[in-house]
Structure 1
Amino acid sequence: MEASIKIGISACVLGENVRFDSGHKLSRFVTNELSKVFEFVSVCPEVESGMPVPRPTIRLISDQERIALVETKDASKDHTQSMLDFSEKRIDQLSKQDLCGYIVCAKSPTCGMERVKVYGKNNADKVGVGLYTKELMERMPWLPVEEDGRLNDPVLKENFVTRVYCLHDFYQSMGGEPTAGKIVAFHSRYKLTLMAHHPASYKELGKLVARVADYSIDEFFQRYRTGLMQAMANRASRKNNTNVLMHIQGYFKRDLNAEEKAELCQVIDDYRIGVLPLLAPMTLLKHHMKRTPNEYLQHQKFLNPYPEELRLRYGL
């Protein structure tokens, strides 16, 4: 597998000693598994914005109508504006690199994606987002972003990797020159995937594609990309996956004998009730596809969203 898909990542998650105590937060999954398929773009907002290593700890505080980034032991040392200035420039650079995802460090006042502590006068609530990551998600709303710790959850891990490969496929399909025809063809290949992730968004994107003539190609590209990735951010549920599997099953009704049909129905139902992982019906469907190829199904990314070597559907 070639490491050709660029994703941004907090430097400490890669094992770089950039934290306040000169330590790191190395993720074994990232370095042992994802490094085989992704090319990492390492960023440490704190160091790159001028803070030393080691350094005083910092935190977010609720300062009247704004969230401020200050030093823990001396709130008069305010790093808010310097971090915002850095974030704007760095994210502008990243937006030109066709990043397909971003892994951030959990709980960090600069990089945390959710539930970051925000300190008030008398208490601390886990309601914040790191200043850098907040800017990242606002300026690049289509970008898959996930925290390092959440990647230990098999469902969240699979969803993040699926989104990364989807966005990469989208960019590759455009070839640097988006056209309405290319986007429509891409959408056709992702119909079943979108049905599994978010049926309502599947319908909305279908309406958008049908009105392609109403937009300039740049506006259509931007609208479709954002809508696509927001839809993919919804995790594919067992119920939606089952509906898609049954939909695919319909393509084989004339090719399978009674025994094979019964077996396929049983495997899909066993997945529906949680007895078998998604890998089981998917493997059986691919077996039948080899015997009776179907051009439409062969092009559907639902069946092969990412390299099988990642083994992400084993526990779903």
Structure 2
Amino acid sequence: MKFKLGVSACVIGEKVRFDRGHKRSSFVCRELSEFAEFVPVCPEVAIGLPVPRPTIRLLDHDNEIRLVDTKDNDIDHTQKMITFSETKATHLSEQELCGYVVCAKSPTCGMERVKVYRENGYVAAEKIGVGLYTKALMEKMPWLPIEEDGRLNDPVLKENFVFRAFALRDLYDAMADGITKRAIIEFHSRYKLVLMAHCPKEYRALGQFVARVADHDIKEFFFEYRTRLMQALAFRASRKNNTNVLMHLQGYFKRSLDKKQKAELAELILAYRKGEMPLLVPLTLINHHLTMHPDAYIAKQKYLKPYPDSLRLRYGL
């Protein structure tokens, strides 16, 4: 089943930018299209701005961020954009959206480091801007994986974003028959090693939280769990944490492998820790041993196969 992926319309090739252009992302359009159902939005077009159109920018006006025309600060689109953004974000929050790819540097869609200008026309270096539309998405859906198109060229950021999108789809699928205590516990059990790799602190805290699921209203529990889970997974798994998980997995085979096999696996884990080979290498051997020596608990761990192999995202980790 495909997951719903919000996108800035220009990122999938729609010619909606101010100059009739686009910012088509090859990764999004070619590699993610098999797994994602795109939900395109251009907030500037949505509030009635034409294509082509005058450029717009964020302006620091009396310590308030305004969205104005670049050449005429009196042409102000702020309130119209805020109204649209909040309404759209509320609508999308009810659609089981699993991720969002936004256009970098845009005064409406940029996720970070968007230029903010002073009245005199110079960039306010001390101001760190966020596009007004993306700001509404982040505030309304703090659990939602959001990434800029350009940052997806980084293999680590790309892997983390895609993994979170698949994890959120998995969470929704796990609750398809209703949000129940059993469904939450079973889902969480499959993500224990993932959490151990991404955020050991929240791995422990969420484990305690899930243990007390019966003490909460189940829907309120789910909403809090979703946010805490996704925010924990936003921490990128470090080499150190991945090594700890690999060693943890190694322990499950201590009675199944002979001395030579144990040494081979230990050497691969050490080589990964030293940065001499990618994570995929020791994981491939662990999956091989799991096929030969099945273990029900390990087999269901999402850490071993968090997304389709065809995406080839662990090659560079």
Q: Under TM normalisation by the shorter chain, which class is it?
A: over 0.9
Read off the aligned partner of 1:173 and give its amino acid letter.
Answer: A
What's the TM-score, normalizing by structure 2?
A: 0.97
Q: Which runs of 4+ in 1 moved over 6 A?
A: none
TM superposition shift of 1:8: 0.2
Matching residue of 1:50:
48
Native 8 Å contact 2:145 2:161 kept in 1: yes
Read off the aligned partner of 1:224 and give its amino acid letter.
Answer: Y
Match of 2:39 among 38, 41, 48: 41
Whole-Å Cα distance in 1 between the matches of residues 138 and 263 of structure 2? 47
Matching residue of 1:63:
61
Matching residue of 2:179:
178
Matching residue of 1:207:
208
Matching residue of 2:113:
115
Cα deviation digits, residues 226-281 of structure 1 (max 9, x gap): 00000000001111000000000000000000000000000000000000100100
Matching residue of 2:283:
282
TM superposition shift of 1:132: 0.2
Residue 132 of structure 2 is aligned to residue 134 of structure 1: no
Give unmatched runs, 5+ long, in structure 1.
none
Residue 98 of structure 2 is aligned to residue 100 of structure 1: yes
Alignment RMSD (CA, Å): 1.0
Whole-Å Cα distance in 2 between the matches of residues 67 and 184 of structure 1? 44
Residue 215 of structure 2 is aligned to residue 217 of structure 1: no
Give unmatched runs, 5+ long, in structure 2.
none
Whole-Å Cα distance in 2 between the matches of residues 104 and 192 of structure 1? 30
Cα deviation digits, residues 54-83 of structure 1 (max 9, x gap): 111000011113211000000000000000
TM superposition shift of 1:282: 0.4
Q: Secondary structure at the match of 2:58?
A: strand
Whole-Å Cα distance in 1 between the matches of residues 81 and 151 of structure 2? 25
Further displaced range: 268-277 or 123-132:
123-132
TM superposition shift of 1:224: 0.2
Matching residue of 2:169:
168
Q: Secondary structure at the match of 2:33?
A: helix
TM superposition shift of 1:184: 1.1
Whole-Å Cα distance in 2 between the matches of residues 59 and 111 of structure 1? 11
Residues 251 and 218 of structure 1: CA distance in aligned 2, closer, same or farther (over 3 Å): same
TM superposition shift of 1:93: 1.7
Kindly report which structure 2 residues correspond to 1:205-284, keeping only aligned pairs within 5 A, or say none. Answer: 205-284=206-285
Further displaced range: 210-219 or 117-126:
117-126
Matching residue of 1:147:
148
What's the TM-score, normalizing by structure 1?
A: 0.98
Q: Secondary structure at the match of 1:31?
A: helix
Matching residue of 2:4:
6
Further displaced range: 57-66 or 75-84:
57-66
**Aligned pairs, number:** 314
Q: Percent identity?
A: 64
